[in-house]
């Protein structure tokens, strides 16, 4: 089986972000990482490949030239193939999913496609589902356990705090994973050395069937949310402070 993992390069979770030109972030001095949920997807892909003799594992990303470093980090974890749809274009979710789907479909033997449940930059929760639609295969989101049962896939997905769901899917399929499914391995020194020599397959947008880019969704404005004014520290010993807090919550904030 040919396994694919879609990853996205995003700013580090600790990054302080500034707006540039009104509708994008200032990329100077930003540390870029693989979106954390995508790291779980890579790990799950590696585990599946290790269990399935003769299978291949390929990382795929879409983004500008800098996104190559995300692929290199993934390769260093032990993946052997990578595809980079390289474009500086800003694309809406459906166009991104269409490009990824078209790249994956060039391989008639694609099997399980792993993704993170969301990217932590735009938090859209859209690409895995759009991808499955454009690939014409089933999808499960929020997946916290994965196994291969014969020619089918069995996943457990979190519905909410109160319930989980077991789903059986035919292969090929898309599996969007969440935290809790595994612990991603660290890249070994050997892995890092090896990954530097792996050739990355590059596609242009035209090569994945996007000749005329038409975005229906556009970012008009990016801005900081209003800052909260500094609150008050309630003075005194714990006993008196707690009494005062309850009074404030009831009478000033009116939330109790």
Partner 1 sequence: MANIGVYIELKGDLFKKSNREALGLAKKSGKDVYAVLFSNTPEKYTDELKGIKKIICVKGSDLTYNPALYADTLANIITQFDLTYFVGICSAQGKDLFPRVSAKIENASLLNDCVAVDIDNNRFTKPVYAGKLLSQFVIEEGFRMATLRPNIFQAEPVSGDVPEIVEFQPVSKEDKSRIVEVIKSASKKIDLTEAEIIVSGGRAMKAKENFNIIEDLAALLNAGVGASRAAVDAGFASHDMQVGQTGKVVNPKLYIACGISGAIQHFVGMKTSKIIVAINKDPEAPIFKKADYGIVGDLFKVVPLLTEELKSRM
Kindly identify the residues of this chain, within the stretch 127-186, that bind partner 1 according to CB under 8 A: 129-130, 132-134, 137-142, 154, 156, 158-170, 173, 179-180
Tokens of 244: 């005062």
What DSSP line would sit under 129-175, residue for residue?
HHHHHHHT--EEEEEEEEEEETTEEEEEEEEETTEEEEEEEESSEEE
Give the distance, in angstroms, between the CA of residue 169 and the centroid of all CA atoms in the same chain.
21
CA gyration radius, the chain: 22
Q: For partner 1, how many residues bind (rule: CB under 8 A)?
A: 77
How far apart are the C-alpha atoms of 215 and 244, rounded to whole Å?
54
Choice between 197 and 223, CB closer to partner 1: 223
Q: Within 221-250, which residues bind partner 1 (CB under 8 A)?
A: 221-225, 228, 230-234, 238-239, 241-243, 245-246, 248-250
Q: In angstroms, what is the minimal distance from the CB of 82 to partner 1?
A: 24
**Stretch 22-51 residues interacting with partner 1 (CB under 8 A):** 25, 36-37
Nearest distance in Å: CB 143, partner 1: 11
The three-state (H, E, C) secondary structure of 50-68, written as one string = HHCCCCEEEEEEEECHHHH
Stretch that binds partner 1, among 52-60, 79-87, 115-123, 194-202 (CB under 8 A): 115-123
């Amino acid at each position: 089986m040919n396994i694919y993992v879609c990853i996205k390069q995003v700013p580090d979770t600790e990054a302080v972000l500034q707006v540039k030109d009104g509708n994008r972030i200032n990329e100077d001095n930003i540390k870029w990482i693989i979106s954390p949920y995508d790291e779980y997807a890579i790990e799950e892909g590696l585990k599946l490949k290790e269990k399935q003799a003769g299978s291949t594992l390929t990382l795929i990303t879409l983004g500008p030239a800098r996104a190559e470093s995300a692929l290199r980090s993934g390769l260093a974890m032990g993946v052997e193939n990578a595809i980079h749809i390289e474009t500086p274009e800003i694309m809406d979710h459906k166009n991104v999913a269409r490009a990824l789907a078209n790249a994956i479909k060039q391989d008639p033997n694609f099997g399980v496609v792993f993704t993170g449940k969301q990217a932590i930059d735009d938090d859209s929760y859209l690409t895995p589902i759009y991808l499955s639609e454009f690939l014409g295969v089933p999808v499960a989101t929020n997946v916290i356990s994965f196994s291969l049962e014969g020619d089918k896939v069995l996943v457990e997905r979190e519905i909410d705090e109160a319930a989980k769901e077991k789903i059986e899917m035919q292969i090929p399929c898309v599996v969007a994973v969440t935290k809790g499914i595994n612990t991603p391995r660290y890249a070994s020194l050997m892995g890092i050395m090896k990954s530097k020599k792996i050739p990355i397959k590059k596609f242009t947008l035209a090569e994945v069937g996007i000749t005329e880019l038409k975005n229906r969704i556009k970012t008009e404005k990016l801005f900081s949310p209003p800052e909260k004014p500094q609150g008050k520290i309630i003075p005194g010993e714990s006993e008196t402070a707690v009494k005062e807090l309850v009074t404030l919550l009831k009478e000033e904030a009116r939330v109790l």
